[in-house]
Structure 1
Amino acid sequence: MSVDVSQCRACGHRVYPARLWCPACGHDRAQAVAVEYAELQAWTAMPAKGADAPAIIATARACPQGPVLVLRLEEMPSHAGQRLRLFERRMQGQSLPWASVLPA
Structure 2
Amino acid sequence: MLMKLLITLYPIIIFTLIAVFFNFFKIRKHLPFNVPDVATFFLIFGLHYFSRQVTHVSILPYFLLLVSTLALILLLLDLFYYREFSAKKFLHFFWRVTFFMTLLLYICMVFVIFTN
Instruction: Identify the TM-score tier after normalising by the shorter chain.
Output: under 0.3
More helix by share: 2
Q: TM-score, normalised by structure 2?
A: 0.22
Q: TM-score when scaled to structure 1?
A: 0.24
User: Which structure has more RCO (C-alpha within 8 Å, separation ≥ 6)?
Assistant: 2
Larger radius of gyration: 2
